[in-house]
């Protein structure tokens, strides 16, 4: 089903295979990006997919984003949204995934993907449209985002599921996600981190960014325990008890007891970046299940310092950035101590912004395109000569 504002087909773009993209020199191709999670709710995978779609379209490629969702959103030039409708909640890895698993939704997603030269499925083993499309694709690229413990019995089930997929190029967003993919489906993925749309560079430091005192932020789903809002609230309470004069704010959905934290609610990407540009230090107190740490990169890109839980994915991001600090998972007193040290010696926002450039799409996008080229060469299918595995409709979600 095509939703309002998502029905417009691209115009003024030559037929696939007939020319090269004027901005990239690459053959014009049609890429289908499949996000398993609803775009009606904020999430790291959806943000990643949207950023990649915009970057590809800006390089002259035609892009269709296929995802659950009901609310149409403005599409960048060259991008078509194909929303398959409402999602259902599934609990896994300490989170709630909003997936579209109905048979008609899977059929709709698969039919739409068949027009593409390259099909790029995020979390391909996820029940619903991602698995259905991945099974039916002839030129397939997949990205693994998740990091979780894979017990032996689950590993066997996931490997059986992965055998339903055809030849594919595999990407993982981090070493932690690559380890999970290796255990779950035998993949040896190329590691290409989560990308972000970089905001403009902030002004050099000229005092606290939020006013007369430092502003400390939290970004994430407030009522999802693994995101650690309870730890953040404890840090705010301890700060008041121990005389650290700072303002604590939280951005994200969910109904919680705020304590000393100001709740700024749900924000779109542009408002999030603007809000982060008024925050001096982000605390990421996540408890588990974070394979990369996109929230850390978003904060750094906005010129915001970072204090984060000592999770593998977070450590890798901060080590690559050469800034930030970690504290033991769940330890609010240690978090406060390190936060106090960072605020006592603030890092200039321009340096923090510069540290995030490595995750900009102008750096990561060409690496993803290189995987598309490998997948096309393996399938021996030049852009514009699309096809599909006919067994793709014989799915199990």
Q: What is the pLDDT of residues 229-268, one digit of tens each?
A: 999 999 999 999 999 999 999 999 999 999 999 999 987 7
Give the pLDDT of residue 158.
86
Please indicate whether residue 132 or residue 10 has the higher confidence score (pLDDT).
132
Residues 178 and 243 placed together within one structural domain of the fold: no
Q: Are 247 and 214 in contact (CB under 8 A)?
A: yes
The verdict on residue 184 lying in a domain is yes
| Interval 176-206: pLDDT, tens | 999 999 988 888 999 999 999 999 999 999 8
Q: Are 351 and 323 in contact (CB under 8 A)?
A: yes
The verdict on residue 205 lying in a domain is no
Give CA angle at 360 (83, 354), nearest 5°.
145
Give the pLDDT of residue 143.
98
pLDDT reading at 15 higher than 80: no
- Indicate the pTM of the whole model: 0.85
Checking DSSP bridges between strand 118-122 and strand 140-144, what pairing results, if any? parallel
Please indicate whether residue 129 or residue 389 has the higher confidence score (pLDDT).
129
The verdict on residue 252 lying in a domain is yes
Residues 164 and 50 placed together within one structural domain of the fold: yes
Give the pLDDT of residue 392.
39
Residues 166 and 291 placed together within one structural domain of the fold: no
| Interval 303-320: pLDDT, tens | 999 999 999 999 999 999
| Interval 39-98: pLDDT, tens | 998 888 999 999 999 999 999 999 999 999 998 777 778 899 999 999 998 887 777 889
Burial, 115: exposed, middle or buried (Cβ in 10 Å; 0-12, 13-18, 19+)? middle
Q: Are 98 and 68 in contact (CB under 8 A)?
A: yes
Residues 340 and 282 placed together within one structural domain of the fold: yes
Helix (H, G, I), strand (E, B) or coil at 48: helix
The verdict on residue 210 lying in a domain is no
| Interval 359-397: pLDDT, tens | 999 999 999 999 999 999 988 766 655 544 444 343 445
Count of domains for the chain: 2
Over residues 93-119, mean pLDDT:
93
Give the pLDDT of residue 185.
85
Give the pLDDT of residue 96.
82
Q: How far apart are CA 125 and CA 150, in angstroms?
A: 14
Average pLDDT of the residues of the chain: 88
**Token code pair at residue 390:** 């006919």
Residues 313 and 237 placed together within one structural domain of the fold: yes
Residues 315 and 376 placed together within one structural domain of the fold: no
Give the pLDDT of residue 92.
79
Give the pLDDT of residue 200.
93
| Interval 23-33: pLDDT, tens | 455 668 999 99
Residues 301 and 277 placed together within one structural domain of the fold: yes
pLDDT reading at 341 higher than 70: yes
Give the pLDDT of residue 156.
81
| Interval 155-170: pLDDT, tens | 788 888 888 888 999 9
**Token code pair at residue 143:** 């990205």
Q: How far apart are CA 69 and CA 37, in angstroms?
A: 8
The verdict on residue 353 lying in a domain is yes
Residues 295 and 250 placed together within one structural domain of the fold: yes
Give the pLDDT of residue 266.
83
Give the pLDDT of residue 261.
97
Please indicate whether residue 279 or residue 390 has the higher confidence score (pLDDT).
279
Structure-derived torsion over alpha carbons of residues 341, 345, 350, 351, reported in degrees to the nearest 10: -70
Residues 79 and 134 placed together within one structural domain of the fold: yes
Q: Following DSSP, what letter does each residue of 177-231 receive, concatenated?
A: HHHHHHHHH---PEE-PPPB-PPPPPPPP-S-TTSSS-EEEEES-TT-GGG-HHH
The verdict on residue 19 lying in a domain is no
Residues 367 and 312 placed together within one structural domain of the fold: no
The boundaries of the domain holding residue 227 are: 215-357
The verdict on residue 25 lying in a domain is no
**CATH number of the domain that residue 257 is part of:** 3.40.50.2000
Residues 246 and 337 placed together within one structural domain of the fold: yes
The verdict on residue 20 lying in a domain is no
Helices 229-242/332-344 angle, 10° precision: 60
Q: Are 55 and 361 in contact (CB under 8 A)?
A: yes
Give CA angle at 361 (123, 227), nearest 5°.
50
| Interval 212-237: pLDDT, tens | 999 999 999 999 999 999 999 999 99
Residues 50 and 98 placed together within one structural domain of the fold: yes
């Amino acid at each position: 089903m095509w939703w309002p504002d998502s029905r417009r087909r691209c115009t003024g773009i030559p037929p696939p295979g007939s020319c090269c993209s004027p901005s990239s020199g690459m053959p014009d191709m049609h890429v289908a990006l499949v996000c398993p999670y609803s775009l009606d709710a904020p999430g790291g995978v959806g943000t990643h997919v949207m950023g990649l779609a915009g970057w590809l379209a800006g390089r002259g490629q035609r892009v269709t984003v296929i995802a659950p969702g009901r609310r149409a959103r403005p599409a960048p030039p060259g991008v078509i949204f194909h929303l398959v409708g409402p999602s259902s909640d599934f609990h896994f890895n300490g989170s709630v995934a909003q997936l579209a698993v109905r048979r008609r939704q899977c059929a709709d997603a698969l039919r739409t993907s068949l027009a593409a030269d390259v099909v790029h499925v995020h979390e391909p083993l996820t029940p619903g449209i991602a698995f259905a499309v991945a099974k039916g694709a002839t030129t397939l690229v997949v990205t693994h985002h998740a990091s979780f413990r894979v017990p032996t019995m689950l590993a066997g089930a996931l490997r059986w599921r992965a055998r339903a997929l055809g030849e594919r190029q595999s990407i993982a967003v981090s070493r932690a996600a690559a380890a999970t993919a290796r255990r779950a489906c035998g993949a040896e993925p190329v590691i290409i981190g989560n990308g972000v749309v970089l905001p403009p560079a902030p002004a050099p430091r000229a005092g606290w960014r939020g006013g007369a005192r430092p502003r400390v932020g939290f970004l994430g789903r407030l009522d999802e325990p693994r995101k650690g809002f309870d730890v953040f609230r404890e840090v705010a309470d301890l700060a008041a008890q121990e005389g650290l004069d700072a303002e604590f704010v939280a951005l994200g959905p969910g109904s919680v007891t705020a304590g000393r934290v100001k709740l700024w609610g749900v924000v779109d990407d542009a408002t999030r970046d603007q809000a982060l540009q008024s925050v001096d230090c982000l605390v990421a107190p996540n408890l588990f299940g974070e394979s990369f740490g996109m929230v850390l990169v978003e904060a750094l890109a906005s010129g915001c310092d970072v204090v984060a839980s000592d999770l593998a994915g977070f450590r890798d991001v901060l080590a690559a950035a050469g800034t930030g600090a970690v504290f033991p998972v769940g330890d609010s007193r240690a978090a406060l101590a390190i936060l106090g040290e960072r605020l006592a010696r603030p890092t200039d926002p321009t340096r923090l912004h510069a540290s995030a450039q490595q995750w900009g799409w102008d750096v990561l996008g060409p690496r993803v395109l290189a995987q598309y080229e490998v997948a096309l060469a393996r399938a021996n299918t030049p852009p514009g000569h699309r096809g599909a595995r006919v067994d793709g409709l014989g799915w199990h979600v």
